[in-house]
Chains A and B, each alone.
Chain A
């Protein structure tokens, strides 16, 4: 009798477990709107956390041209021997003044060693990650992935787009799909942002 009841218990438990599994999936289906995990990426994107570490943001007004970032950079670039290139001249006050600052995103590995090396926080991790789509020709010519001060200061900063409160919520995309439009030859990117970057940078390189 014990064996029989044990068997029946096992059978009943199995059936009930199956129903439990079904209950879970049906409940998931019922709550699909709240539980949807897929971000329909080009149509919508998620709010990034402020500590999101995306493409580098360069703030030329802070830079003291110490070149520590260039020394810290571990990756050779496609065009030069460092991923970071800095051009400067010595000004009238015997201070170094920045001419142009390039990051070669064709070879940058986003290790942020340059960010850690920078003593004045001129380099910061930004929010942008769509670098490959900025210039459509970059897939044929890697040197077009070299961005100068103009493009780098254009990257939206984390604080602008991210917030801890609303991190990872879905938002409809309010930027144009084709990022090249906002950086293209027709419009001057400097007009859209308040930053002083006016160099055409890699686009002309």
Chain B
């Protein structure tokens, strides 16, 4: 079923109300949608920052922002106002044009991703049939903005940090894209709308889901748990958030590539960083956690309610999952220490890429041979179970002396 974008529907409705040309409708609706999504990103990011500060504070036995507004709710709007009113300093020897353009590039690439993101089956700007490719292509433009900004600011520390950031992001683009290919193979479509629709079975609907072949639960997290893990880790690394924030490394180096930026330009970098975190949560929700579908068996009644109710129900579940994932990212920020550069590279190239490639191979073979998806799920989960059981085999004595190939050191004997 080819559903129509809600924004185009809105535009057509406005056209019918105002009696203007039909050609105006869809662009107008899409423009309104772009405006709404831009403001949505701003608002959500503002309160994501508040939630980050509050959550990490609670987890570290502090209280967090407290005094500006109820529970510090106005703290981040106040911070944003402060950043807006600050002087935008451009260093004398910086390349003014590039220095100004770079934050915009970073933010726009974070913003453009949302063109193909469906929040409900109809609430999207464009249902590209190459949505996944589009997202991974557009989100990697960020690297250009970072390199450009660092180079234009004529600061060697910024440049070094940008190189590190670029190396990290380019490395993790690969497992990021490879991991999402597992659900894409299962869904048989690159479109996020299709991938979301195919997970409509709910958590307790066995064997009669939209994808037909499934023998188990419909969400791709059940058939692709390893891919989801790799996707999430690669996404963390690509967004430069803890434990992979060696670019920023607040406690060691000064802010990384945006060291020369201040005021609103810095705010754009900051905004893009949190927008990318939100994008990670949104993409994980869409591809693995059943998108807008509730975990309950709602397919029986969901078709018979008014579209507004259906949309609200779907939106609620979507944002609930996104919120939980964002909270998970933030609590990882509170829990885990930073990795070293070599550990980061080893994790990406020696673990995530082989594992995601293998996952791609296995998933492709299963789909090609027409094996029911329950066997795929069983293979995945038993592999995870084996790894879990093996982790109890013996205690790893010291982090600085790893025995296995993860850090490049030669494997030591078991009894040693």
Contacts and interface: CB of A to CB of B under 8 A. Distances in A.
A28 B63 contact: no
Given A10-B404, A22-B332, A28 B62 contact: no
B316 to A, nearest CB: 24
Contacts of B411: 2-3, 6
A36 B402 CA distance: 36
Interface string B393-413: 110100000111110000100
B390 interface: yes
Given A36-B63, A40-B63, A12 B391 contact: yes
A93 interface: no
B59 A28 contact: yes
Interface string B332-349: 101110000000000000
Given A5-B393, A29-B59, 19 more contacts: A2-B411, A3-B405, A6-B404, A7-B405, A9-B391, A9-B396, A10-B402, A10-B404, A10-B406, A11-B391, A11-B406, A12-B389, A22-B335, A25-B59, A29-B58, A36-B61, A36-B63, A37-B62, A40-B63
A3 B61 contact: no
Nearest to B330: A25
A2 B411 CA distance: 9
Nearest to B350: A7
B129 interface: no
A79 to B, nearest CB: 39
Interface residues of A, number: 28
A2 B389 CA distance: 15
Nearest to B331: A25
A24 interface: yes
B394 A9 contact: yes
Contact of B61 (A12, A18, A21, A28): A28
A127 to B, nearest CB: 25
B368 interface: no
A8 B390 contact: yes
Which of B61, B331, B336, B402 has the largest number of chain A CB atoms within 10 A? B61
Contacts of B335: 18, 21-22, 24-25
15 contacts: A6-B403, A6-B414, A8-B386, A11-B391, A11-B406, A12-B389, A13-B391, A18-B336, A22-B331, A25-B59, A28-B58, A29-B55, A35-B61, A36-B62, A38-B63
Given A21-B335, A22-B331, A10 B396 contact: yes
Contacts of B406: 7, 10-11, 14
Interface in B348-393: 351, 386-393
Given A6-B404, A11-B351, A13-B391, A26 B331 contact: yes
Contacts of B4: none
B394 A38 contact: no
Nearest to A23: B335
A88 to B, nearest CB: 50
B208 interface: no
A170 B336 CA distance: 31
Contacts of A26: 59, 331
B391 A21 contact: no
B393 A9 contact: yes
A16 interface: yes
A24 B337 CA distance: 13
Contacts of A132: none
Given A2-B414, A21-B335, A37 B61 contact: yes
B39 interface: no
A22 to B, nearest CB: 5
A25 B58 CA distance: 9
A140 interface: no
B336 A21 contact: yes
Contact of B334 (A3, A9, A25): A25
Given A25-B335, A38-B63, A15 B55 contact: no
Nearest to B67: A40
Contacts of A10: 396, 402-404, 406
Contacts of A6: 403-405, 411, 414
A8 B354 CA distance: 13
A21 B392 CA distance: 17
A5 B390 contact: yes
Nearest to B388: A12
A180 to B, nearest CB: 23
A107 B334 CA distance: 43
Contact of B404 (A9, A25, A29, A35): A9
